[in-house]
Amino acid sequence: MEGGGFLPFGGDPEEILRGLREFAEQQAEGVKDAQREQFATLTLNTAVELTQAALSQIGASGSADEQAMQLRDAMRVLFPEAVALVSAARQGFMRET
C-alpha cells in the first residue's frame, strides 16, 4: 500500500478520524446557533403577535382621550409580558457560543 496509510485514499486513520470529529463538532455548533436564532426570532414574533391580538380585542369607546386612556391601561398589563418575551429572545440572540 503506497501513499501511506491503511485506507485506500491514504492518510493516517487517526488523523482522518480527528478531522471528522472536528467537522462534526463544527456542524453541531452551527445547528445550535441556528436553533438559538430561530428561537429568538419566534419569540419576538410571538411578543408582537400577542400584543397586537390583545390590543385588537379592546373595544375602546368614547372620546379620543378616553380611547387613548383605555389603550394605555391595556398596555400597562400587556407591556410587562411583551418585555419578558423580548428579553428571552434577546438572551437567545446574545448567548455566547
Q: Give Dmax (Cα) for the chain.
A: 91
- All structural domains of the chain with their residue ranges: 35-94
d(CA 15, CA 42): 41
Q: What is the pLDDT of residues 23-65, one digit of tens each?
A: 888 888 888 888 888 888 888 888 888 888 888 888 889 999 9
Confidence tier at 1 by pLDDT (50, 70, 90): very low
Q: Is the pTM of this model over 0.75?
A: no
The per-residue pLDDT for 90 is 76
Q: What is the dihedral of CA 35, 37, 40, 42, to 10 degrees?
A: -70
